Amino acid sequence: MQHEELSVPGDDTWDQQPEPPTQPYDLWTRTNLGENFPDPITPLSATLWPTFFLLGRMPTKAERSADAPPLPKFQRFYGRVYVNEGVVIHSAVEAGIPTSFIDTTWGSSGRGLRKSDESFHFFRLLRRLPSMARIGMSQARQQPKTPKQKEQKVPNVSGEKLFMEVNQWVDQFQQQDMQRLDDRALWRRWIPLWIMRGKAMRSVFVTAVLAAVAFYFLDRRVSKWTGKQGQATMLVQALSGVYTAEVGPGLWNMAQTLRASHLDDIVQSHPAVEALALLQERQEAQPFMAELQAFIQRHGYRCPNDAELHNPRWAEAPAQVIELIASYLRADESLSPIKAEHHRQQEREEMTAQIAAQLNPIRRRIFRWLLSQAQKRIRMRDNNRSYVAKYLYPMRLLLVELGRRWTERGWLTSPDDIFFLTLYEIDDIMSENNEPEPGEDLARVVLARRAAFDYWHTITAPSALGPGDIPLPDPEPTGTFLQGLPASTGRVRGVARLIWNLSEASRLS
């Protein structure tokens, strides 16, 4: 969906979702989702994510018709993903949920348009239960009936067990030779299976909610019992066993290996692709190359903004890792992520002991229990992104392979053009009833969509839109206020460096 005054040629060929009715409490922001989709989103990502994680099956052509109920789809403005924060807050208020819960757990700010309510309103919730039940039953009746399909049982697991399952799925995919299957066989072999497995991945969203609830109650108790705000954030920082937290120390160690081998100048004085080629030729670079290979083996399914399938992963483009290592070579010892993590762990332990010492025995037991629940849930939540990124990695590899084949046939201009088709369009091409080849029409459609995608990258999107999709002015900055994109609540201390977009992240040290 695009605001009609801001629609551009190319968008109208795929995103024709009816615009939802305007409500006086509408507040479209990039809260919570903005961290995962900071830039304009491609047609493929915009249709794959809702299909895999919400719908759980490929919709029929009838369901995609203009007069059918709308399918789950990201709401887009200015080519970017927005969420109606106003509806979330309105629903919370009507259900008696304190808005402070949404503010704390979801990263909402209210943009100065409302005050944060701290109280649960149980009678309000009781009054709403009958209407909520009616709405749920009505929505269930409106669900289109689809023929039952034989499905392989998906294990109902979460946490570390889920990641072990994902590892097995990815290993199974990578052991196959995609060249042995034609397009349709490849598509039919993996896409329905991966959509089905996406149902198991839904547990990561439940985990995120549980983590938010656990942190909310920990924060409330700690703030009330100590009389100080913001201490709960420090109690859950620098937790062990978080996969993403391994990346910084891994990059730092590789930078130190290069420096010890007197090879750091190669990385700092050559473009990343050229530097990698030079290192591969040097005998003395073998220890570094072994570390790099191990890093790619463990984290190669990641990349900056890996929710967008269009972006190459580190395993496909290891020069990205070289760029990150170069940034660490420009940093001195005081910026070591290993030392920083150790310092934050010490802060957490000291704060835990300090708060526990202030409490009586009963409150201390409650505090310890709330803390253990919050730390456990937040650790699982923080690992969710790794689980999802690895789960999606085979789908990117499959799509890149199809893009390569279709480019060789002349259907596309370059392999990554395939990310400017929707998941449904690719599925239609794979249909056994689709005899004619797409030919030049496909290339023309992609060209228009690429132009729209590139155009939206030149536009500075507003951080919020109100009723009628009208952009809202940003709150006036103060001496202690920095306007940005909310993603996670909390406080951090360190050197602040500003970049204009995610592509400049490799310059940070």
Q: What is the Cα–Cα distance from 160 to 380, expressed in whole angstroms?
A: 8
pLDDT at 2: 46
What average pLDDT does this structure show over 66-78? 77
- Structure token pair of residue 156: 């109902």
Q: What is the Cα–Cα distance from 108 to 105, expressed in whole angstroms?
A: 8
pLDDT at 322: 97
Q: Is residue 106 part of a domain?
A: yes
Task: Give the model confidence (pLDDT) of 384-394 as tens digits.
Answer: 889 999 999 99
| Burial of 435 from C-beta contacts in 10 A (0-12 / 13-18 / 19+) | exposed
pLDDT at 156: 61
- Tell me how far CA of residue 440 lies from CA of 84, 187, 429, in angstroms: 38, 22, 14
How many domains does one find in the chain?
Answer: 1
Least confident stretch, 89-103, 263-277, 301-315, 401-415: 89-103
Q: Is residue 343 part of a domain?
A: no
pLDDT at 139: 52
> What is the percent of the chain with per-residue pLDDT over 90, rounded to a whole number?
50
> Per-residue pLDDT for 361 more than 50?
yes
What average pLDDT does this structure show over 54-67? 83
Q: What is the DSSP string of 18-37?
A: PPPPP-TT--EE-TTTTTT-
> Per-residue pLDDT for 107 more than 70?
no
| Angle at which helices 423-430 and 183-201 cross, to 10° | 140
> Could you list the residue range(s) of the whole structural domain that residue 455 is in?
1-150+439-509
Work out the pLDDT band at 307, boundaries 50, 70, 90.
very high
Kindly provide the b/e burial profile for residues 309-318, where b requires at least 16 CB atoms within 10 angstroms of the residue's own CB: bbbebbbbbb
What average pLDDT does this structure show over 452-470? 90
Radius of gyration of the chain (CA): 25
What average pLDDT does this structure show over 238-255? 94
pLDDT at 16: 61
Q: Is residue 262 part of a domain?
A: no
Q: Is residue 200 part of a domain?
A: no
pLDDT at 505: 54
> Per-residue pLDDT for 366 more than 50?
yes
> Residues, the chain, total?
509
- Structure token pair of residue 10: 């190319």
> Per-residue pLDDT for 157 more than 90?
no
CB neighbours of residue 122 within 10 Å? 9
Residues 6+ apart with CB under 8 A from 306: 313, 389, 392
Q: Is residue 193 part of a domain?
A: no
**pTM, full prediction:** 0.84
pLDDT at 20: 66
Least confident stretch, 32-41, 334-343, 430-439: 430-439
Q: Is residue 164 part of a domain?
A: no
Q: Is residue 144 part of a domain?
A: yes
Q: Is residue 477 part of a domain?
A: yes
> Per-residue pLDDT for 49 more than 80?
yes
Q: What is the Cα–Cα distance from 349 to 357, expressed in whole angstroms?
A: 12
